[in-house]
Amino acid sequence: MPNLKLKTTVERNKKKLLISQTKKDKHVADLIYDLLVFAGIPAEDILYSNSSNDQSSLPIKVDIFDYLRDFFVESYSTQKIYVVYVTSEQMKDRWAVLSEIGAGWITKSEHDIFTINGFTPEKPLNTNETWGNIEFDIQEKTIKLDESNLNVVVNKLIYICKELDYQPASKEDIKQEICKRIELIES
């Protein structure tokens, strides 16, 4: 019984969503983070290691691997973390990202995938579902979406909000916000 109060506190204070990405993909991961917050997920409920927002970044002087182990496994919380994977060629040799994928697979965490520049994710990620492909021009530092992927991204943001029990912004508002930040291209 004494753990009941601790469990309630842990459930209330635990991050609900992890953005798994590499620092080299920060431009796209920042966009996804900003859109998740815009769509309705509070910044304090998101863990994004490269975030400029203190509410979402890792605590200082904390080893990322220890933190992630606690985050995925060693918690009084029974609520599983929802993971947004930002996948690209850059992630293939990044131990932290690969560890997050492995931990998510072992704990059977629900997840969604956003790819960069047509990257094809592999198992154990759920590659049977549609993922949103985001084009990033590294020279121009521009993010581009075609209409089809714009709709996929909007629908994923709404779905994630609902999965985490947040009331999402409207589809039209999210679409307008995205279009302010990206270049819309022909399919």
Please classify residue 177 by burial: count the beta carbons closer than 10 Å to its beta carbon, then call 0-12 exposed, 13-18 middle and 19+ buried: middle
Q: How many CB atoms lie within 10 A of CB 5?
A: 9
Q: What percent of the chain has pLDDT over 70?
A: 87
H helices present in the chain, as ranges: 2-13, 26-39, 64-72, 95-107, 147-163, 171-181
Please classify residue 42 by burial: count the beta carbons closer than 10 Å to its beta carbon, then call 0-12 exposed, 13-18 middle and 19+ buried: middle
51-89 per-position pLDDT tens digit? 889 898 877 777 777 777 776 665 545 567 899 999 999
Please confirm whether the linkage preceding 124 is cis (ω < 30° from 0).
yes
More confident: 8 or 32: 32
Looking at residue 3, its pLDDT comes to 47
Q: Tokens 């004494």: give the residue.
A: 2
Looking at residue 12, its pLDDT comes to 46
**Amino acid identity at 177:** E
Looking at residue 64, its pLDDT comes to 73
More confident: 160 or 100: 160
Q: Angle at Cα 167 formed by Cα 166 and Cα 170, nearest 5°?
A: 140
C-beta separation of 18 from 84 below 8 A? yes
Q: Angle at Cα 103 formed by Cα 98 and Cα 108, nearest 5°?
A: 125
Q: Which domains does the chain have, with CATH numbers?
A: 2-185 (3.40.50)
> Looking at residues 133-147, what average pLDDT do you find?
94
Asked if residue 19 has pLDDT above 50, the reply is yes
DSSP track, 2-28: HHHHHHHHHHHHS--EEEE--GGGHHH
C-beta separation of 90 from 22 below 8 A? yes
C-beta separation of 164 from 111 below 8 A? no
21-53 per-position pLDDT tens digit? 989 999 999 999 999 999 999 999 999 988 889
> Looking at residues 123-148, what average pLDDT do you find?
92
